[in-house]
Chain A
Amino acid sequence: MSTADLLSGACPAPRRESERVLLGHGSGGRLSAELIADVLVPALGEAAVPGPLEDAALVTAAGADLALSTDAYVVTPLFFPGGDIGRLAVHGTVNDLAMRAAMPLALCVAYVIEEGFPLEDLRRVAASVGEAARDAGVRVVTGDTKVVNRGAADGLFVVSTGLGRRLPGTAPSAAGAVPGDVVLLSGPIGSHGVTVLSTREGLGFEADVRSDTRPLHRLVEAMVGVGGEALHALRDPTRGGLASAVNEIAQASAVGVEIDEQALPVPGAVRAACEMLGLDVAHVANEGCLVAFVAPDRAAQVLAAMRVCPEGRDAVRIGSVLAEEPGRVRMRTGVGSRRVLDMLLGEQLPRIC
């Protein structure tokens, strides 16, 4: 391609609508949603399942209520404080199942390995997958291994698929929130995204932060135990952060949500990093917390049950669901005004100064 071709972009289209996939299409924000809605789902035709996009699909087979989910892991660097790609691959899929109140039954793990990848690193990742699966109480029942030419992958990609059994008496869904619901958050936000960014770019915050990656199904089990059908919606705010997770629920449920900025638990080092880099902590990825929309009469019990679990020790109430302004999330700011909390648009880019 010549220099002139490169610069011509998608001309004569008036706007820079590039007919190429951008990195931002994978950020979990608005661009990702558009890619799924405009390209991937329509191509399925009648093979698609109607309804909102969920963390895991509900499947009934031979009378058993199951959930199914899959996720690909492409994190750079592969190893970071608090975790690595192997732990993420187990926890991410276990958590996606848990967001539909399903306990993990079995996992499949596939590795795509770049030619020349150090075996020692592969051993570490594989050991990590084993350890995380044992900790989560789930078996890895099958998998796949592919090696691609040097340059065709960035070291190692891992794909995991999980099958789960749904807990009876509850069916949380992104479309399940109703006005009056209380919004609960299971713990501090921002640690994972800041840890990975800082480790990758050598920004110097990595000594003070750790990824929060951990399985959340036991926390969900405890919440279901006291909350039951009062658990209307659950989501783990991974890519795109809390803002994207809450916006997705607000849109799928056609409700308004108000979040109290002051109530958001943010570790000091994460706040410092976000302030310095000009990032909004509500857009930063997490791997070990969840946001729950709970009927108001059961919210206090659910919150108490969360706080008994180690992974919900710092759980807090962060907001509530309104009938007004369906699909929109508002944040009550520290100084007492209100602003819209929007989804991350594309790639998360640091501000200039």
Chain B
Amino acid sequence: MRYLDEYRDPRLARMLLDRLRRVATRPWRLMEVCGGQTHTIVRQGIDELLPAGIRMIHGPGCPVCVTPLETLDRAMAIAARPGTILTSFGDMLRVPGSHTDLLALRARGCDVRVVYSPMDAVALAQRHPDRQVVFLAVGFETTAPANAMAVLHAADLGLANFSLLVSHVLVPPAMTALLDSPDCQVQAFLAAGHVCAVMGWTQYEPLAARHRVPIVVTGFEPLDLLEGILMAVTQLEQGRYEVENQYARAVRRDGNTAAQDAIRRVFRIADRAWRGVGTIPAGGLVLAAEYAAFDAERRFDVGDLTAREHSECIAGAVLTGTREPTDCTAYGTICTPRNPLGAPMVSSEGTCAAYFAAGRTRAAAVPGIVQ
């Protein structure tokens, strides 16, 4: 298939790996920011092909994983109200809240639906004027333009029964928070290609300069990742710290300005809680005052929510890359995709789930542990 097979060519992969072996003289620790990249790396076993010493740290860029438990509990409380249709993207449905998850609520009679676009949720609201349709809007800068367009469209239609439960997060503030943390081990970043397709990479330039860290805007196919890793390691070896663009077929320096305009119209930047990471200043988006009428948090009073995380789960450390899933005592024992304790085990983009699906065991990762 054009534009896919080219980026999965085993011969080219071997060439890139050979070049990487020649370039790398020392151990380096790289973080891929996006969950989609983690998915490819683990699914294709790319990290196992890398020269010894090049370690990939899996970043916090899984929107499902960083959605706060409190938001999930709120979504479930809204879904449980009579007359509501709660809509979201597929893998949000399986994420455990404090007490239950959306699939289990659906089995108990709540109207919870998977949509493939926020516009589908707007269409549902048009078809069901007597029901309240809520879209659980999660994601990074990538999904924000489409969610913004859904709000603009609903406003044009004058829909009073459509709203958004917003949990939008932004990547550069999270990278800043990681770099500012004293135990940060990351020496170079592979920036999330699709986030940059929307936002461009100008925001990353001051970050690279201030923290002296190479940042390579990288795509999602195996060859994209291998080339991104090679570019980042080359910079590290040469002592450079620039923003480079591996994903040239999709990303321009200024990004997609029309999409940025839509985001700016509908949302404003605010402090945001990231699950497992904590509150990141200016780390997310909320609906702008002009569109506050579409804010499900205002529309539905669900009372006080007290979210409880499982004590054994180390999701926060996994999301910030300081621990591996296989470091967790719950991994693969009491925490599995079947019964996830934390979000990284839920989404197929989550690091724990990606490790589990690839059959990575604590025994294999930690010599000495026998299962």
Whether A335 pairs with B338 at a CB distance below 8 angstroms is no
Asked, given contacts A22-B104, A23-B106, A30-B338, whether A353 binds B63 with beta carbons under 8 Å apart, the answer is yes
Whether A17 pairs with B143 at a CB distance below 8 angstroms is no
- Provide the residues of chain A in CB contact with B8, threshold 8 Å: 334-335
- Provide the residues of chain B in CB contact with A278, threshold 8 Å: 90-91, 348
Instruction: For chain B, residues 32 to 78, give those with C-beta under 8 angstroms from any C-beta of chain A.
Output: 36, 39, 42-46, 48-49, 63-64, 73, 76-77
Asked, given contacts A333-B45, A337-B45, whether A352 binds B100 with beta carbons under 8 Å apart, the answer is no
Q: List 10 A-B contacts (CB under 8 A).
A: A6-B80, A7-B99, A18-B104, A20-B104, A20-B107, A278-B348, A333-B44, A349-B91, A351-B347, A353-B140
Q: Which of A40-48, A68-76, A268-276 contacts B (4 or more CB under 8 A)?
A: A268-276
- Provide the residues of chain B in CB contact with A139, threshold 8 Å: none
Specify the chain A residue showing the minimal Cβ separation from B334. Answer: A15
Q: Does B366 contact A (CB under 8 A)?
A: no
Please classify the interface of chain A as helix (H, G, I), strand (E, B), loop, or mixed, using the class held by over half of its residues: loop
Instruction: For chain B, residues 82 to 113, give those with C-beta under 8 angstroms from any C-beta of chain A.
Output: 89-94, 96, 99-101, 103-110
Most buried by B among A24, A268, A337: A337
* Interchain nearest-CB distance for B49 vs A (Å): 6
Q: Does A338 contact B (CB under 8 A)?
A: yes
Q: Which of A15, A23, A335, A351 contacts B349 (CB 8 A)?
A: A351
Q: Does A16 contact B (CB under 8 A)?
A: yes
B residues contacting the other copy or chain, number (CB 8 A): 63
Q: Does A328 contact B (CB under 8 A)?
A: yes
* Interchain nearest-CB distance for B207 vs A (Å): 22
Instruction: For chain A, residues 269 to 287, give those with C-beta under 8 angstroms from any C-beta of chain B.
Output: 271-272, 275, 277-278
Specify the chain A residue showing the minimal Cβ separation from B9. Answer: A334
* Interchain nearest-CB distance for A200 vs B (Å): 11
* Interchain nearest-CB distance for B147 vs A (Å): 12
Whether B80 pairs with A352 at a CB distance below 8 angstroms is no
Whether A349 pairs with B14 at a CB distance below 8 angstroms is no
**Which residues of chain A have a CB within 8 Å of any CB of chain B?**
1, 3, 6-11, 14-18, 20-24, 30-31, 201, 203, 262, 268, 271-272, 275, 277-278, 328, 330, 333-340, 342, 345-347, 349-353
**Which residues of chain B have a CB within 8 Å of any CB of chain A?**
1, 4, 8-10, 13-14, 36, 39, 42-46, 48-49, 63-64, 73, 76-77, 80-81, 89-94, 96, 99-101, 103-110, 114, 116, 138-140, 142-143, 194, 222, 226, 310, 334, 337-339, 341, 347-349, 357-359
* Interchain nearest-CB distance for A10 vs B (Å): 8
Whether A23 pairs with B91 at a CB distance below 8 angstroms is no
Specify the chain A residue showing the minimal Cβ separation from B142. Answer: A353
Q: Which of A22, A349, A353 contacts B114 (CB 8 A)?
A: A349
Q: Which of B96, B107, B138, B337 contacts A21 (CB 8 A)?
A: B107
* Interchain nearest-CB distance for A301 vs B (Å): 30
- Provide the residues of chain A in CB contact with B334, threshold 8 Å: 15
Specify the chain B residue showing the minimal Cβ separation from A333. Answer: B44
Whether B139 pairs with A352 at a CB distance below 8 angstroms is yes
- Provide the residues of chain A in CB contact with B108, threshold 8 Å: 1, 6, 18, 20
- Provide the residues of chain B in CB contact with A338, threshold 8 Å: 45
For the complex, give the distance between the alpha carbons of A31 and B78 in Å: 27
9 closest residue pairs by CB, A with B: A337-B45, A340-B359, A9-B100, A349-B90, A350-B90, A18-B104, A335-B13, A6-B80, A20-B107
* Interchain nearest-CB distance for A137 vs B (Å): 38
For the complex, give the distance between the alpha carbons of A18 and B102 in Å: 11
- In addition to A17-B339, A345-B338, A353-B139, 17 A-B residue pairs with Cβ atoms within 8 Å of each other are A6-B80, A6-B108, A7-B76, A7-B105, A16-B101, A16-B104, A23-B103, A334-B44, A335-B13, A335-B45, A337-B45, A337-B46, A339-B45, A349-B93, A350-B116, A351-B347, A352-B63
Q: Which of B43, B100, B140, B143 contacts A333 (CB 8 A)?
A: B43
- Provide the residues of chain B in CB contact with A272, threshold 8 Å: 1
For the complex, give the distance between the alpha carbons of A6 and B97 in Å: 13
Whether B49 pairs with A350 at a CB distance below 8 angstroms is no
* Interchain nearest-CB distance for A344 vs B (Å): 10
For the complex, give the distance between the alpha carbons of A188 and B66 in Å: 37
- Provide the residues of chain A in CB contact with B91, threshold 8 Å: 278, 349-352
Whether A328 pairs with B90 at a CB distance below 8 angstroms is no
Whether A277 pairs with B13 at a CB distance below 8 angstroms is no
Specify the chain A residue showing the minimal Cβ separation from B16. Answer: A335
Whether A9 pairs with B13 at a CB distance below 8 angstroms is no
For the complex, give the distance between the alpha carbons of A346 and B96 in Å: 14
* Interchain nearest-CB distance for A284 vs B (Å): 14
Specify the chain B residue showing the minimal Cβ separation from A22. Answer: B107
For the complex, give the distance between the alpha carbons of A15 and B106 in Å: 17
Most buried by B among A21, A336, A350: A336
Asked, given contacts A334-B44, A349-B94, A352-B64, whether A340 binds B358 with beta carbons under 8 Å apart, the answer is yes
* Interchain nearest-CB distance for A243 vs B (Å): 11
Asked, given contacts A15-B339, A17-B339, A352-B347, whether A346 binds B139 with beta carbons under 8 Å apart, the answer is no
Asked, given contacts A3-B81, A271-B4, A340-B358, whether A350 binds B107 with beta carbons under 8 Å apart, the answer is no
For the complex, give the distance between the alpha carbons of A337 and B48 in Å: 7
Whether A275 pairs with B4 at a CB distance below 8 angstroms is yes
* Interchain nearest-CB distance for A13 vs B (Å): 10
- Provide the residues of chain A in CB contact with B101, threshold 8 Å: 16
Whether B107 pairs with A352 at a CB distance below 8 angstroms is no
Asked, given contacts A9-B99, A11-B99, A336-B14, whether A352 binds B49 with beta carbons under 8 Å apart, the answer is no
For the complex, give the distance between the alpha carbons of A353 and B348 in Å: 11
Specify the chain A residue showing the minimal Cβ separation from B14. Answer: A336
For the complex, give the distance between the alpha carbons of A63 and B353 in Å: 51
For the complex, give the distance between the alpha carbons of A11 and B140 in Å: 33
- Provide the residues of chain B in CB contact with A350, threshold 8 Å: 89-91, 114, 116
* Interchain nearest-CB distance for B239 vs A (Å): 30
* Interchain nearest-CB distance for A333 vs B (Å): 5
- Provide the residues of chain A in CB contact with B339, threshold 8 Å: 15-17
Whether B49 pairs with A339 at a CB distance below 8 angstroms is no
For the complex, give the distance between the alpha carbons of A272 and B2 in Å: 10
For the complex, give the distance between the alpha carbons of A72 and B35 in Å: 38
Whether A335 pairs with B44 at a CB distance below 8 angstroms is yes
